[in-house]
Structure 1
Amino acid sequence: MARLRLKDLRDLTVMVVHPPDADGKALMDQLKRIGCRAELMWPPAKALPSGTDVVFAGVFFETHEALSAMMKKSEKPGATVICVVNYENPAMIELVLDLNAFAVLSKPVRTFGMLTNLVVARQNWMQAEEFHDRLAKMEKKISGQKKIAKAKSILMEMHKISEREAYGIIRAQAMGKRISVEEMAVAIINANELLSSRYDDV
């Protein structure tokens, strides 16, 4: 599992989506001390600049809709979101959850805790992305296995052969055409559906 190193923080591109007030300045000053490439943005734009790794997002009721829209329109995978809030209540917590935040900072912004929040949030984001990639690969593998099973079933019924023989045919055809077994299975399924529809029309 990938682990964030402190020296990797200097490679991060950070957007501080916050008014240019004392808290916004404190965020920028500390990020520059840490060594991040940081930029202040206010109000929220239509989308984050390409390549943004981390967002420190000031959460306000009056601008939340624009902030949420900006995050949803940004490129995938999304940035690591750290929310900056000025008070805590159920409504504010809902806004933080809507942004899929990995950490929260309270106001007034203090330098103590920013580095820890940044490291923990980014590490958790990296793990979430890794799990997402593994899940996507697993789902793709299961989908391929289902297609192969269906193609084998078609060949077994059509030629009255065993499952092993059916798989052998699919594999041999795939090697001959220089495509994957899954792609060959899809071709067999599509051909069978085409033939079935033609017979149904007769």
Structure 2
Amino acid sequence: MPSARAVDVRSTRIDARGMDRDLRILVVEPDPERVLGIINALTDAGWSDVKALARISGLNRTVKEFVPDIVLIDLTNPDRDTLEHISDATESSKRPVALFVDHTDEDLTQAALNAGVSAYVVDGLKMERIKSVLETAIARFKVMRQMQSELDAAKQALEDRKTIDRAKGILMRQRDMSEDEAYSLLRKTAMDQNRKVIDVAQALVTAADLLS
């Protein structure tokens, strides 16, 4: 199968500015003639670092070896096994996936989105649409990644607040302090030890759990 030059995969090719010209693209397509057509269309759009894969079953392994920035999958009728392969490949790598299908239904569409597909295009892959579809997939991927990052940060902030509240409660009981005094002690200890308040609070909670 055709593949193009190797590049430094440590560089960031999907950034806040949008689509970089140096994207590494993995194409999953069983038909050799369509593979050539897709690669030519990608080259015309400005992307030449492309690798082709004939079988979806090899997706996870190839993703780990090739480390693409985006995966383009062209299949006539995807099934649950296909979506499972996609989910496995995107779960650890967190990269956009554009899936082109000829036919679908509501359940399969939702399952594809749940599997990590960034762009789900019905009515097959049209060569003239590759550029716009990949741009859409990357844009949606960035939005979803930002939303997930914000959600993770909010969850962590909530957990940190619970830990700090527990640490304050321990100090209030052990030293007969007010809540404000307990927090001031946590903050002073953190400053004296050049640590974060949450780290001091976690250490205190852990110690209290061990002694309980």
Shorter-chain TM-score bucket reads 0.7 to 0.9
The structure-2 alpha-carbon separation of the partners of 1:157 and 1:41, relative to structure 1 and needing over 3 Å to count, comes to same
The answer to whether 1:19 aligns with 2:35 is no
Instruction: Give the alignment of 1:43-122 within 5 angstroms.
Output: 43-44=55-56, 45=58, 46-47=60-61, 48=63, 49-59=65-75, 65=81, 68-69=84-85, 71-73=87-89, 76-90=92-106, 93=109, 96-97=112-113, 99-106=115-122, 109-122=125-138
The structure-2 alpha-carbon separation of the partners of 1:174 and 1:134, relative to structure 1 and needing over 3 Å to count, comes to same
The structure-2 alpha-carbon separation of the partners of 1:154 and 1:24, relative to structure 1 and needing over 3 Å to count, comes to same
Contiguous gaps of at least 5 residues in structure 1: 197-202
**2:18 — aligned with what?**
5
Instruction: Give the alignment of 1:165-176 within 5 angstroms.
Output: 165-176=181-192
Length-normalised TM-score, structure 2: 0.78
Separation (CA, whole Å) in 1 of partners of 2:148 and 2:139: 14
The answer to whether 1:138 aligns with 2:150 is no
The structure-2 alpha-carbon separation of the partners of 1:25 and 1:104, relative to structure 1 and needing over 3 Å to count, comes to farther
- Counterpart code for 2:44: R
- The alpha carbon displacement at 1:193 in A equals 1.7
**Structure number with bigger Rg:** 1
The answer to whether 1:38 aligns with 2:54 is no
On the 8 A contact 1:18/1:41 being kept in 2, the answer is: yes
On the 8 A contact 2:25/2:68 being kept in 1, the answer is: yes
Q: Which moved more, 1:146-155 or 1:47-56?
A: 47-56
- The alpha carbon displacement at 1:106 in A equals 4.6
- The alpha carbon displacement at 1:67 in A equals 6.2
- When the two structures are aligned, how many residues end up with a matched partner? 193
- Aligned CA RMSD, in angstroms, stands at 2.6
